Chains A and B, each alone.
Chain A
Amino acid sequence: MIAIDLRGVSKTYSLYKHGFDRLLEIAFAKKRHVEFVALHTLDLQIDAGEVIGLVGMNGAGKSTLLKLLARTLVPTTGELNIHGRIAALLELGTGFHPEMTGRENVYLAAAVLGIGRTRMATLYDEIVEFSGLHDFMEQPVKTYSSGMYVRLAFAVATCVDPDILIVDEALSVGDGAFARKSFDRIMGFKKAGKTILFCSHSLYQVEAICTRVIWVHQGRVMMDGDPAQVVAAYNGFLNSQGRQPGVDLPIQAPVSDSPLLIPAGHARLTKVTAWADGKAGKELQLHSGSSDLCIEASFSSDPALPAPTLAFALTGADGRWICSAGTLNDGIALQRTAEGNGRVLLTYPALPLLKGEYWVQAFLLSEDGVHIYDQASDIARILVTQTGLEQGIVTLPHHWADVAEGAVRSTTSAFAA
Chain B
Amino acid sequence: MLVQPTLQVAALWFLLDIVLKVRFPGMEGGFVGYYLTGMLPWLMMSEIIQRSLGVMPEYAALYQRSVFPLFLIPLVPLLVSGGIYVSIFFIVAFLISGWAGALGALLLMLGLLLWLLPFCYLLAVLGLFVRDLQQLAPFVLTMLMYVTPILYVPSALPQSMTWWLQVNPFAHLMALAHALVQGQAWTWWNLVVPGALWLVVLLPALALFYRAQPHMREAL
Interface residues of A (CB under 8 A from B): 13-14, 19-20, 22-23, 26-27, 70-74, 86, 88, 90-91, 93-98, 108-109, 112-113
Contact = CB atoms under 8 A, between A and B. Distances in A.
Given A72-B217, A74-B214, A74-B217, A23 B65 contact: no
Interface in B29-84: 59, 61-68
A106 to B, nearest CB: 13
A95 B61 contact: yes
A93 B131 contact: no
Contacts of A95: 59, 61-66, 68
B180 interface: no
A19 B64 contact: no
Contacts of B214: 74
Nearest to A25: B215
Contacts of A112: 62, 66-68
Nearest to B214: A74
25 contacts: A19-B131, A19-B219, A22-B219, A23-B126, A26-B211, A26-B215, A27-B208, A70-B67, A71-B67, A72-B65, A72-B217, A74-B214, A74-B217, A88-B65, A88-B66, A91-B65, A94-B65, A95-B59, A95-B61, A95-B63, A95-B64, A112-B62, A112-B66, A112-B68, A113-B66
A71 B64 CA distance: 9
Contacts of B62: 95, 97, 108, 112
A22 B215 contact: yes
A26 B208 contact: yes
A412 to B, nearest CB: 66
Contacts of B66: 70, 72, 88, 94-95, 109, 112-113
A93 B59 CA distance: 14
Interface in B78-119: none
B130 interface: yes
A26 B217 contact: no
A204 to B, nearest CB: 27
B218 interface: yes
Contacts of A94: 61, 65-66
Interface string B118-135: 000000011011110000
B191 interface: no
A256 B211 CA distance: 59
A318 B211 CA distance: 51
A25 B172 CA distance: 34
A91 B130 CA distance: 25
B127 to A, nearest CB: 10
B63 A72 contact: yes
B200 interface: no
A180 to B, nearest CB: 25
A93 B61 CA distance: 9
B217 A73 contact: yes
A145 to B, nearest CB: 17
B140 interface: no
Contacts of A27: 208, 211
